[in-house]
Structure 1
Amino acid sequence: MANLMDVSDIARMLAGQIDTLVGALLPAAVRDGNEWRVGGLDGSPGRSLCIHRHGARIGVWKDFSSHDDAGDALDLVAAVLYGGDKGKAVAWAKSWLGLDAMDPNRLKQVRAKAKAATNAAQAQMERDAAQRRKVAKAIWLEGQGIVVGDAVYNYLFGRGIDLKQLGAMPGALRFRESLEYPPAMNGDKRESYPAMVSAIIGESGEQVATHRTFLKDYGFGMVRKAPVRDAKLTLGSYKGGVIPVHKGISGKPLKSAPQGDKVILCEGIEDALTLTLHAPEYRILAAIAVSNFQNLGWLPDTISDITIAADNDPETITDAKTGEIRPHPARLAVAAAVDMFQTQGRTVRVAYPPDGSKDFNDMIKPRDAAQGQAIK
């Protein structure tokens, strides 16, 4: 049997029955669209642990309350039942799937079926990704250039960013007067909001995704993030992509960056605009998430100087379950990006906002007079 069925086959077969498997392992888990959600590997209620239910990532899971806990369906069995012991998980899975009682010919058929299902899911995922890129680009193209007084301008002004000071509005950012918020994330309700839509470009220089910031206009120029589950969403994969917020002193597109070009990388659009106001000589790129910095090794070789303007995340975190103190995942991600860029021969430095500010935009945001806190 060992020659007929390896651990990857078993993982695929478990993934093919992921709904039943999750019910057996984590009965407190609840369905949330294309995912199962539960509090953790201990089965407690909550949302920290996410398990994919469909598509090429079916069975893939991650516990977002932990830096290391993630894997495929077989890893889930090992983590929940056996403290990570993969050998015991394989034995349990064979029994649960009924493999121990199968004859060799039947095992071959089951293995082939599992592999075919994986290949079909991968092909479907690629088709779905292409369609998402198409829709994402259309959402951006249907936007309008930002003008003084529109909802995007007023939202950013409320964050301490006066776009008039830039001289020209950022071309990657546009305004949609009305954009539907995904019903699947809104209790199936269909609601539309004004939105800032931003083009995310990849290594080819082509747009690969669109970042959306949904807004709520309260009148009298006061615009805030929309009161929804997550006001900032990306359509399409942003991995390895950036929002080119500012071209710097050269004024050239990213793919044509001149020799010696200097870049500031940050996470969010608001941080990027804040940095543009205060360091206009630099090219400013928003990477959307700290984990994406290390996917940007493709930046042109002509960019010799990179400053990572990181958020002010704590240096360590304490595991809620074990009490273990370890480096914060964001700090580890920044360190990994620094190592990568330095290996490429670039000059790299990291800048953090001062204590009391969570990010660079937080430094300039107006404060709530009653609370003394930056307005969100």
Structure 2
Amino acid sequence: DDKEKARAQAEGLWQSAAKLTASSPPVLYLQGRGIDFARLGKLPGAIRFHPEVWHAQLRRKLPAMATKFTRGSVHAATHITYLEYRQGRWVKLTTEGARRMGLPEGEVLRTKIIRGPAHTYGAHIALWKGDTRGKLDDIPRGTPVEVSEGIEDGLSYAMANPAARIVAAGTLGIIEVMHIPPQAGALHLLAQNDDKTQPREALERAIAAQQQRAREAGIARTVACRWPLPNFKDWNDWLLGKEKTP
């Protein structure tokens, strides 16, 4: 009952958000991350703009990019990325901005949150449909599926591969349980060159879990990683030409 209540609240939050236009704050934020929807030719329907989403640490409402998680026709959860207007442009909420709003010194700022049981549902963000149409469950047999952890990474991949079917997970743990339809082709995880042990181990668990799910279902599916060039941490940094510091 608690999870259904959380799911319904998450759906209501997204439904109360505004559909994207060319001047919406999430579009301008993503544009600052090198993601050009004018070049891609369309705006993703899963993403909306909400002017007032509660931020628990700051105990106030902030503007946010609200993105829908689905499983089939069910709206399972809503991914929130808090935004701020800073120095004439829209950016992800910064620690400096949060400090001015009362974030205690030494406390780590949360810039993102998932509202609702995305993990329970094995849900995904239908980030980019590419050359396919409809829900993920309805893709043509053999269609490869690209899975990113973050929204920015997935859309960065779309900039170079606009024909690809791309979903995002929000966390590596959700990739581990994400439902992939049986007719889907290869599953490619858009990995990051992370030097920390914890995310690398989480990535390995996600790969192993998806391989096991395919085996148990009798599906001959390749599950593998795509990597950005080694001198870039992730796909968005590669798009921006932002190399890792030595």
Query: TM (normalized to structure 1)?
Result: 0.56
Aligned match of 2:222: 347
Cα–Cα, structure 1 residues 366 and 180, in superposed 2: closer, same or farther, change >3 Å? farther
Aligned match of 1:67: none
State the one-letter code of the partner of 1:180.
W
Say if 2:149 and 2:172, in contact at 8 Å, map to a contact too.
yes
1:200-215 equivalent positions in 2, closer than 5 A: 200-202=69-71, 204-215=72-83
Aligned match of 1:234: 114
Q: Aligned Cα RMSD in Å?
A: 2.3
Aligned match of 2:181: 300
Cα–Cα, structure 1 residues 373 and 353, in superposed 2: closer, same or farther, change >3 Å? closer
Aligned match of 1:196: 65
Say if 2:65 and 2:82, in contact at 8 Å, map to a contact too.
yes
Q: Secondary structure at the match of 2:185?
A: strand
| 2: CA distance, partners of 1:145 / 1:268 | 20
State the one-letter code of the partner of 2:55.
Y
CA displacement at 1:317 relative to structure 2: 3.6
1:309 aligns with 2:181: no
Cα–Cα, structure 1 residues 140 and 131, in superposed 2: closer, same or farther, change >3 Å? same
State the one-letter code of the partner of 2:4.
A
Say if 1:170 and 1:246, in contact at 8 Å, map to a contact too.
yes
Cα deviation, 1:299-350, whole Å, max 9, x if unaligned, reads: 2111022211112223x749xxxxxxxx942342243145326523112331
Aligned match of 1:330: 202
CA displacement at 1:373 relative to structure 2: 6.9
Cα deviation, 1:223-262, whole Å, max 9, x if unaligned, reads: 3334452010001122111100011212222121111211
Report how many aligned residue pairs link the two structures.
228
| 2: CA distance, partners of 1:226 / 1:268 | 17
1:89-168 equivalent positions in 2, closer than 5 A: 127-168=1-42
Bigger Cα Rg: 1
State the one-letter code of the partner of 2:67.
S
Cα deviation, 1:58-99, whole Å, max 9, x if unaligned, reads: xxxxxxxxxxxxxxxxxxxxxxxxxxxxxxxxxxxxxxxxxx
Cα–Cα, structure 1 residues 373 and 159, in superposed 2: closer, same or farther, change >3 Å? farther
State the one-letter code of the partner of 1:141.
Q
State the one-letter code of the partner of 2:188.
T
Cα deviation, 1:239-295, whole Å, max 9, x if unaligned, reads: 111100011212222121111211101100001111111112211000111122221
| 2: CA distance, partners of 1:365 / 1:225 | 19
CA displacement at 1:220 relative to structure 2: 2.4
Aligned match of 2:43: 169
Identity across matched positions, percent = 28
Cα–Cα, structure 1 residues 135 and 181, in superposed 2: closer, same or farther, change >3 Å? same
| 1: CA distance, partners of 2:41 / 2:31 | 15
Aligned match of 1:181: 55
| 1: CA distance, partners of 2:200 / 2:147 | 19
State the one-letter code of the partner of 1:267.
E
State the one-letter code of the partner of 1:134.
A
Aligned match of 1:221: 89
State the one-letter code of the partner of 1:309.
L
Q: Structure 2 stretches of 5 or more lacking a match?
A: 99-108
Aligned match of 1:362: 237
